[in-house]
Amino acid sequence: MALKALIKKRGQRGHIALITAVIAMPVSLVVVFAVEMTALSGERTKMQAAVDAAALAGAREIGVSGGSERNIKAFTERFAKEQTREIIPHVRTTFIAEQLQGGAVQIDGVGVRNSFFGNMVPKGGFVIRVRALAEALNQQPLCVVGTGSTSTALAIDGKERSRILAPNCVVHANANIELNESAQIEAGTIQASGFAAGTGYSPEANNGALVLRDPFKSRRIKRRNACPTGVVQTREVSSGVLQLRPGVLRWRYNARGTGQIRLAPGDYYFCQPLTIEEQASLIGDNVVLIFDNGALNATGNAKVSLTGRRSGSWAGFVLVSARENETDTAISSASVDRLLGTIYLPNSNLFVNAQGTVAENSLWSVVIARTIALTGDSTLVINDNYAGSGVPVPKGVGRLNKSVEDGAWLKR
């Protein structure tokens, strides 16, 4: 009897264990499923945050003047991909962005992660779908571009106590920016397609921005057979006034002492360098200076006051260098108070080493150069009062939309 009771008791225990196991399996599945759903919800939140950030970044790129010329779609997709790679690396993501009319960017994202039983439940794995839509509120003016080159990765270089002051503008480098010692850049937006090294940025610089295409790349600058070869003559003025007329200027010009060079309105094509030094001055209104060879060099206490062209094929430009010309434009005089217009040096550098401010009396200025380098106590001032100048802003730079607000906003 005792044996039968023991066997019966053991049988009951077996039944209980089996029943417990049967009950425990779905309970475990429910617990695991709940954990998975919680994780999935968190991953969806992170993925939504990634596309939100990407849409805003894309809209801000449109907000930079000339943004419509760049590949906003690829930039936005890459931005989202990089975000999710860091925060949810186990989710396989795909993003499709679209640039819409009116300065908007939409991005759709699909994420897939493994599910139960080899992706059988649900079949194919868990799928996350997200969407974000953002609009640019304003096109912040593009005022300073360092294009960089294949020989150097440095596009904007600040040393010692130098500064770039462009409070309402975009300062952009197609390569790297480097600030050493106490150098500073103050702007509306600071961004580098490479990286921004050093401190002194206000606001903080953004790395990894889109490379800006040269808005004037299709412009023909060089005049064939305009400049003679052989012996170069020099015309120097040390006192009084030398009045120049528009056209091709084949001599080298140098103003020193108290001499003045005055430019009548028009287009000037310089075959040789133009140097203003000591107490001399260079004055011109409604002019553009195009250098086939050489460049403008202002030293000592030389005064330079130039206002760009108001009409003609070079409307909006004040200093231009031919693409074949690699001679640097050098400004080391603090009396260079007006460079109103676009300074376009596609394959040469702008060096500023003035013990004071440069271009502060310009209603607006735009600088596009291979490298923009500042040293000493020099301060390059970039204003953006386009409406009050009478000099039109060339398409592709400056402000294209005069909204009161800046940045971008999320519409999703």
Domain boundaries, given as residue ranges, for the chain:
15-136, 142-381
Burial (CB count within 10 angstroms: exposed 0-12, middle 13-18, buried 19+), residue 7 = exposed
> Rounded to an integer, what distance in angstroms lies between the CA atom of residue 46 and that of residue 364?
43
pLDDT for the residue 166: 95
Largest Cα–Cα distance in the chain?
136
Query: What is d(CA 226, CA 200) in angstroms, rounded to the nearest whole number?
Result: 45
- E-assigned strand segments in 13-141: 92-100, 104-113, 126-136
229: left (phi over 0), alpha (psi -120 to 50) or beta: beta
- Bridge partners of 319, per DSSP, are 289, 343
Q: Which helix (H) or strand (E) holds 408?
A: strand 408-410
Strand order in the sheet with 92-100: 92-100, 104-113, 126-136, 408-410
Rounded CA separation 323/211 (Å): 19
Round the CA-based radius of gyration of the chain to a whole number and report it.
Answer: 32
Tell me which residue of 295, 260, 257 sits closest to 278, measured CA to CA. 257
Query: Dihedral angle at the C-alpha atoms of 366, 359, 341, 200, nearest 10 degrees?
Result: 10
Ranges of the chain whose pLDDT falls below 70? 1-37, 63-70, 101-103, 116-122, 124, 135-139, 150-152, 399-412
Span 294-318, pLDDT tens digits: 999 999 999 999 999 999 999 999 9
Structure tokens at 102: 């009116």
Q: Residue 31: its pLDDT value, please?
A: 54
In whole angstroms, what is the distance from residue 97 CA to residue 106 CA?
A: 6
CA atoms of 109 and 115, how far apart (whole Å): 19
